[in-house]
Amino acid sequence: MSRTIRIFVVDDDLDDTEIFQEVLSFIDPTIQCSTADNGRDALDKLSRVTFIPDLIFLDLNMPRMDGKECLRKLKENLLLRSIPVIIYTTSSQSKDIEETMAAGAIKFITKPLNVNDLEKILRPIVLGLKQPTIQD
């Protein structure tokens, strides 16, 4: 029996979030996907959940608390710092890539223009999470 993959998406664009969830569901309908619409909301939700997500996809440009500040706070938190964070944003600026990778992100993805490209990006990431680990 394979374990349930839990993904947390932090993005203020509702359309992008819905498309992201649909693509995840297409790849693997058993994935549990939770969302937040800004960094502050994400940290609040993560402080109250009874599980730790396997992976966080984090947008950079959001109101209240942007992705860079949220990433810093995630990596400062002893309970949350080990969660892998992938930056998922419209930016492709080298400064954003360098800053977020230096702050602890494991990957930087510029949002693709269509659903097929998103599926091609997400499929290997999700399938990588499904690989058995020593604890399984």
State the pLDDT confidence band at 92, using cuts at 50, 70 and 90.
Answer: confident
Euclidean distance between CA atoms 93 and 73, whole angstroms: 22
Task: Please give the pLDDT value at position 101.
Answer: 96
Summarised one tens digit per residue, pLDDT across range 94-117 is 999 999 999 999 999 999 999 999
Locus of tokens 């999700």: 126
How would you class 63 by CB atoms within 10 Å of its CB: exposed for 0-12, middle for 13-18, buried for 19 or more? exposed
Architecture of domain 6-128: 3-Layer(aba) Sandwich (3.40)
Q: What is the pLDDT of residues 36-87, one digit of tens each?
A: 999 999 999 998 877 789 999 999 999 999 999 999 999 999 989 999 999 9
Q: What is the model's pLDDT at position 1?
A: 45
**The pLDDT value given to residue 51:** 73
